Structure 1
Amino acid sequence: MVDALTIVSELLTNAVLHSGTTEIRLTVTRQDDFLRIEVDDGQEGSVRPKSANNNDQSGRGLAIVEGLVQENDGKWGVSDDGTTVWCLLPAPQEGS
């Protein structure tokens, strides 16, 4: 569950820092055996991981998301218009 919280934090931070909008929507749902996390900022554009060097203070958020999603055998992507970043993670089982 810690990975899901980190992903939510990174996606929301990216939306706040880069969208220029005042409305951001977080949606978390369970779909079958997956937890679906979506952050929608309503701003069309291109969303992709950047290469940050050791001196950069930001620019690693999507790379962190990508790594955590892959580590958990999940998937992530961006809506066709670039307004929503989403990921699917295996949902926690009851009692875990």
Structure 2
Amino acid sequence: MEQHVYEVAFLPDPIRVPEMRRAATAFLRRSGISGPVVDDVALAATELVTNAIRHGDGAVHLCVSAVGGELRVSVTDQSPDRAEVRHADVEEVSGRGLFLVAAFAHSWGSSGQETWCTFRYPLGDDGAVAA
């Protein structure tokens, strides 16, 4: 079974968010994954990284992996606080990130330092990424 992994650690600076989105997208395309799931993973990476930068502590670590038809996006920081879905008021301009991740992802969770989500992608009969 093929496994593809992209990992990067960086200091918590909002300027890194679009870079991480582009890196996650490029990783998926290099891994042969295409279609709507690429946009969903890019959105999730953006939201989880933004959350870690805004609410976390210390360096941020992004890991995107693809194995066996499952994509996993994981973001860790040094904060022991678990990420929780907020229900932002209509007039609020932020606070919907985890709500979006929960809506688009197959599953998601937070253990405190790590917040993660998973997505499914199609495999061919040989177990490789379906084109």
TM-score past 0.5 threshold: yes
- How large is the RMSD of aligned CA atoms in angstroms? 1.3
CA drift of 1:31 comes to 2.8
The residue correspondences of 1:12-51 to structure 2 (distance < 5 A) are 12-21=49-58, 23-51=59-87
2:33 is matched with none
User: Is the counterpart of residue 89 in structure 1 residue 119 in structure 2?
Assistant: yes
Alignment correspondent of 2:101: 65
Instruction: Specify the alignment match of 1:75 in structure 2.
Output: 107
CA distance in 2, matches of 1:37, 1:63: 16
Q: Look up the SS of the partner of 2:88 in the other structure.
A: coil
The equivalent residue for 2:17 is none
- Give the letter aligned to residue 11 of structure 1: L
Counterpart CA distance in 2 for 1:46 and 1:6 is 20
How much does 1:55 deviate?
0.9
TM-score by length of 1: 0.84
Gaps of 5+ in 2: 1-37, 123-128
Runs (4+) of structure 1 exceeding 6 A deviation are none
Which structure has the larger Rg over C-alpha atoms?
Answer: 2
Classify the secondary structure of the residue corresponding to 1:25.
strand
CA distance in 2, matches of 1:78, 1:20: 15
